[in-house]
Amino acid sequence: MTVWALIPVKARGRGKTRLAPALPPHERDRLVEAMLSRVIEAAAGAVDRTILLGPPRGALPFIFDDGDGLNAALENALAILSRGAPPDRLIVVAGDLPRLDAQDLRQLAALPACTLGIATDRHGTGTNALSLPLPKAAGFRFQYGTGSAELHRAAAETLGLNAVTITTSGLAKDIDEPADLADAEHLFALAN
């Protein structure tokens, strides 16, 4: 079984603007890069291939984001990756998960066929990762935004897929608000 990871990433200088009250731009950029490195490292220990969605970073393969919004960019990337010889499973994972490790992603990779995994945020309402079985989920409609976990569950059901919630500390703890920064202190100290 082949499993790939797709990590959406914004251009340098454009990420984590909601952290502006707590961090100046250069520190936000360093934090974003440290978290992205952590997610890439976790993916390397759990999947066969890692691809970025957005501008290139290092030597990783990437799919350019055309700027029509995250959901449209993800649907375009899914269409591209579903052509030819797609993986058996595609894990879409946020790049701002400072506590993520390979075991978290292995849980998403090990789901049975025809089962879509939804890793929710710490509030249980947002989505920090999705595990899509291919080719069955090739037409999946991404619903990132307010209440995305429930919307993703409905999108899975539309395709006849069983949707399960995966909850781990590494998958739940994203960094969106200044109060979340405590979860990234171990990485941020390395980034300074």
Name the residue ranges covered by the structural domains of the chain.
Answer: 3-191
32-37 long-range CB contacts below 8 Å, 24 or more apart? 32/95, 32/96, 33/191, 34/98, 34/184, 34/187, 34/188, 34/190, 34/191, 35/95, 35/96, 35/97, 35/98, 35/175, 35/184, 35/187, 36/7, 36/9, 36/95, 36/96
Share of the chain above pLDDT 90, in %: 72
Kindly tell me if the per-residue pLDDT of 192 is higher than 50.
Answer: no
12-65 pLDDT, tens digit per residue, is 777 787 878 888 888 989 998 999 999 999 999 999 999 999 988 888 999 998
Kindly tell me if the per-residue pLDDT of 189 is higher than 70.
Answer: no
Q: What is the predicted pLDDT for the residue at 140?
A: 98
**Which architecture does CATH list for 3-191?**
Alpha-Beta Complex (3.90)
* HSE of 166, CA atoms in CB hemisphere, 13 A: 26
DSSP structure class, residue 163:
E
Chain-wide mean pLDDT for the chain? 92
Sequence-distant (≥ 6) Cβ neighbours of residue 123 within 8 angstroms: none
Cα 176 from Cα 174, distance rounded (Å): 6
Which residue, chain included where needed, has tokens 């995250």? 70
